[in-house]
Chain A
Amino acid sequence: MRYAMAIDTKKCVGCGDCVVACQTENNVPIGFCRDWIVENVSGSYPNVEVELRSERCNHCDNSPCVRCCPTGASHVIEGGIVKVTHDECIGCGACIQSCPYDARYSHPDGYVDKCTFCDHRLAKGQTTACVAVCPTNCLYFGDLEDPNSDVSKALKNRSWKVLAPEAGTKPQLYFLT
Chain B
Amino acid sequence: MKEELFVSGRNIPNIDPFLNIWHWEIPLYLFLGGFAAGIMFFAGLFLVMGKEKEMETTVKWAPFLVPVALVVGLFALFLDLKHQLFFWRLYTTIRMESPMSWGAWTLMIITPLSFFWAASYLKEVVPGWKWRLPVFESFEALVIKYRKHIAWLAMGLAIILGVYTGILLSAFNARPLWNTSILGPLFLVSGMSTGLAAIIWMSKSHYERSVLSKIDIALIGVELFLIVHLFMGFLAANQVQVEAAHLFLGGEFTVTFWVFVMILGLIVPAFLETLELFGYKIPMWIPSLLILIGGLMFRFIMVEAGQITRYLY
- The reply on B22 being an interface residue by CB < 8 A is yes
Q: Which residues of B contact A40 (CB under 8 A)?
A: 7-8
CA distance A97 to B307 in the complex (A): 7
In the complex, residue of chain A having the shortest beta-carbon distance to the beta carbon of B313: A102
Q: Does B49 have its Cβ within 8 Å of any Cβ on chain A?
A: no
* Beta-carbon contact of B97 and A67 below 8 Å: yes
Q: Are B311 and A67 in contact (CB under 8 A)?
A: no
Q: A109 CA to B310 CA in the complex, in Å?
A: 26
Taking a contact as CB atoms under 8 Å apart, the answer to whether B22 and A90 are in contact is no
Contacts of B141 in A (CB 8 A): none
Chain A CB within 10 Å, residue with most, of B1, B16, B310, B312: B312
- Contact between B1 and A89, CB atoms less than 8 A apart: no
Say whether B238 contacts A166, CB under 8 Å.
yes
Report which of A90, A96, A98 forms a contact with B83, defined as CB distance below 8 A.
A90
Residues of A within 8 A of B268 (CB): none
A30 to chain B minimum Cβ distance, whole angstroms, is 9
Residues on B with C-beta less than 8 A from A160 are none
A156 to chain B: closest CB distance in Å? 27
Chain A residues lying within 8 Å of B92, measured Cβ to Cβ, are 71
A87 touches B86 (CB 8 A): yes
How far is A101 from B311 in the complex, measured between Cα atoms in Å? 8
- Given A38-B9, A67-B97, residue A100 in contact with residue B90 (CB < 8 A): no
Per-residue CB proximity of B29-68 to A under 8 Å, as 1/0? 0000000000000000000000000000000000000000
Task: Flag B1-40 by CB within 8 Å of A: 1 or 0 each.
Answer: 1111111111011111011011000000000000000000
Q: Which of B2, B6, B83, B101 contacts A91 (CB 8 A)?
A: B83
Contact yes or no, B80 A93, CB < 8 A: yes
**B89 interfacial by beta-carbon distance below 8 Å:** yes
A90 CA to B90 CA, complexed, in Å: 8
If A98-B172, A98-B174 touch, whether A68 touches B98 (CB-CB below 8 Å) is yes
Q: State whether A90 and B86 are in contact (beta carbons under 8 Å apart), knowing that A43-B3, A96-B19, A100-B311 are contacts in the complex.
A: yes
Q: Say yes or no: is A164 at the interface (Cβ < 8 Å to chain B).
A: yes
Are A90 and B7 CB-contacts (below 8 A) given A72-B95, A106-B82, A166-B238? no
Residues of A79-106 at the interface with B, using a CB-CB cut-off of 8 Å, are 87-94, 96-102, 105-106
Binary per-residue interface labels of chain A (110-126) against chain B in the complex, 1 for a CB within 8 Å, 0 otherwise:
11100000000000000
Instruction: Give the interface of A toward B (CB within 8 A).
Output: 31-33, 36, 38-45, 48, 64, 67-73, 87-94, 96-102, 105-106, 109-112, 163-164, 166-168
Q: Given A71-B95, A91-B82, A97-B22, 19 more contacts at CB 8 Å? A: A32-B12, A33-B12, A41-B5, A41-B8, A42-B3, A67-B171, A70-B90, A72-B95, A90-B84, A90-B86, A91-B81, A92-B100, A93-B21, A97-B175, A110-B85, A111-B82, A164-B312, A166-B238, A166-B240
